[in-house]
Amino acid sequence: MSERLHSVTAQFDRLRSMRFQDAINRAMPRKKIQKKPEIKPAEPSKSNLVLKSDVSKIGDQEVSAAPMRVQEQLLDDETRALQVELTSLLDAVQETETKMMEMSALNHLMSTHVLQQTQQIQYLYDQAVEATNNVERGNKELSQAIQRNSSSRTFLLLFFFVLTFSVLFLDWYNN
């Protein structure tokens, strides 16, 4: 039974390690994807340069270009804020994932120790059963020894009694 439990535990550990490796592999591309949007803010700055050149060429659009610059600046600020929020969220997720992996490793360690303790407890139980059987056999041997001792005493007493009367009878017969 303990061998079966050990094999199931080992198989569970292999599957869990494969699952964590898959999770790590999926986490790595996410990091790369998050780095790419950081390059995108450079593109609106190119559009700002284009707008500046257009503004210098056309004087009438100067009034409408200022609100567009303000809108673009607001969008850039919102984009940066979202990037910071997503980056902090990604860091929190990665930290949580790391903690979960550590907890899983500790769980594996604990299950391994529980399995070892189960085996040790089974060994101690077997030893206790064997000791109980030995004590029972010893008690039987002692009771048999006591019976043999009492029967041998009876035989010796009878033998000495008969011998004593035989000697007395022979002494009386000789006199």
Q: Where are the domains of the chain?
A: 2-141
Per-residue confidence (pLDDT) for residue 47, from 0 to 100: 46
Q: Which residues of the chain, if any, have pLDDT below 50?
A: 30-52, 55, 58
Long-range interactions of 106-113: CB distance < 8 A, separation 24+: 108/13, 108/16, 111/9, 112/9
Its sign, for the CA torsion 103, 104, 109, 114, is positive
Please give the model's pTM, rounded to 2 decimal places.
0.42
Q: What is the pLDDT of residue 152?
A: 83
The pLDDT value recorded for residue 123 is 95
The pLDDT, as a whole number, for residue 140 is 95
How far apart, in whole angstroms, are the C-alpha atoms of residue 115 and residue 105? 15
pLDDT for the residue numbered 141:
94
Q: What pLDDT is stored for residue 42 in this prediction?
A: 45
CB atoms within 10 A of CB 111: 14
pLDDT of residue 33: 44
Per-residue model confidence (pLDDT) at position 120: 95
Q: Determine the pLDDT at residue 63.
A: 53
